[in-house]
Chains A and B, each alone.
Chain A
């Protein structure tokens, strides 16, 4: 007659000394009186002995030291105070955002480079539209107004996306990217097959504290210094330099999208999506009697563009604006197309030095360079 499962379980527990005294006494008696139970007990005991016979191994002091070392390193991290940890996290977020921006931009510049490399012409070529823009009287630092920053890039669409990321990372209010307007902007891009070309620009109007805006400006400055594809060198200076390089082994790639863009701009007129001539190059600019640019500004804001050169003091554009009472400032970032140029190392250095000197000049003056100042 087979032994009940319950008895067998008790035998196993009895073997381990895990039965209460009264049960243990009963099982002990059963083992003594029933040979089958006794045999089962013997087998369980042997099994346990076999398992216990397995050799134990030792890890040694090396292991202890290794873990202690890691623990000590971990403790240093743990002992950082909470505010410092939060600050570190915030810094890490900013670094990641900045890195993402940088990497993304590198990528788009690489693409531009590939496009440039595919061209056969080795002659310098300036596009008429750009030449016209170059006469706008922009001055070093590209600050045509106190709170304006003009950046030149070979892929404005992409630069716009990256700039937007940077602005979002800095938590400023981006006024022109309200969803509805963004959709319109996307439609325009779609019609132009994703290209914004010479003479056109995308404008961001951002609001934030002066510190935030300064940081953004610094980020963009360093970005333009780090990569010649995103430049702040104004057209006059840029064109002079490029012309001076004419006999050297460089290449300006012709861009054929201008007419396409102009057509797209025309189509968009009157749809509420303002695409107009860039007369908003500030009143200061018109005071210079600079010729109107042949290119057009892709204005993606529904609100009126501020025309005062002094926009550093926060102003509400609408009476109920929640930002009206805050000490914020606004800044316009203009992303303009400039045809990519293939430069050799020496030429890149010259461009970089030119940009550095201009940015340095801007910093030394401690005053944003206005068009009046330029005059």
Chain B
């Protein structure tokens, strides 16, 4: 049974990859509808990864858009050796990191509203947290607070560890995919993910109970 399920997933992946290749080929021929389908397929994933790296909604959206436009512009250089999305994510991660380096320490949007100094996340205003919750209940505030703490812990990881953690734990990518995106060996990915998790574990230790 399990072998059947595994085969089904594999077939599904192959179909999806074929489909992706068709869309890429269509985009290269100038079929903007094909490229729109690629955008639609990956925009949320790219956006969420960018947001976890930048911690700025607007910037994450800009990074996502730029990544797609850049990918489109350089599509004829895409060799097809890897999946299109790994290539796309590589562009997006580089863009996001570049922005983050440029704006290190700046105030960024904190969840849906309010602002927070990334370097002093604990100083964000409680009012901002409340307004960021739809129902205003204590539980939501607690959840929101937890989410903010996690998000801030991620954003405080250094540039080397953060993308690996985000790609693995936010986007669920495999080590091999992450290695291709970051351009490092699989072993380095393994090490970075472990180191990142250890730092986060310490920062979020009170949430572990």
Contacts and interface: CB of A to CB of B under 8 A. Distances in A.
Interface of A: 8-9, 12-13, 16, 18, 43-44, 46-48, 50-59, 61, 63-68, 70-72, 74-75, 78-79
B52 interface: yes
Interface of A (DSSP majority class): helix
A47 B36 contact: no
A323 to B, nearest CB: 43
A57 B208 contact: no
Contacts of B33: 68
A332 to B, nearest CB: 48
Contacts of A68: 32-33, 35-36, 39
A46 B168 CA distance: 15
B5 to A, nearest CB: 15
A67 B68 contact: yes
Given A57-B48, A75-B30, A18 B175 contact: yes
Given A16-B168, A48-B197, A51-B154, A59 B47 contact: yes
Contacts of A55: 147
Interface in B174-202: 174-175, 190-191, 193-194, 197-198, 200-201
Interface in B43-94: 43-44, 47-48, 51-52, 57, 61, 64-65, 68-69, 72-73
Interface residues of B, number: 44
Contacts, number: 113
B46 to A, nearest CB: 9
Given A9-B194, A63-B65, A67-B39, 11 more contacts: A12-B194, A16-B175, A47-B208, A50-B200, A50-B204, A57-B48, A58-B47, A59-B44, A61-B40, A67-B65, A74-B72
Nearest to A46: B208
Nearest to B45: A56
Given A59-B43, A59-B61, A51 B147 contact: no
Contacts of A70: 65, 69
21 contacts: A9-B190, A13-B194, A16-B175, A44-B197, A47-B204, A50-B146, A50-B204, A51-B154, A51-B200, A52-B170, A57-B44, A63-B47, A63-B61, A63-B64, A66-B65, A67-B43, A68-B33, A68-B35, A70-B69, A71-B36, A71-B72
Contacts of B191: 9
A55 B151 CA distance: 10
A61 B52 CA distance: 21
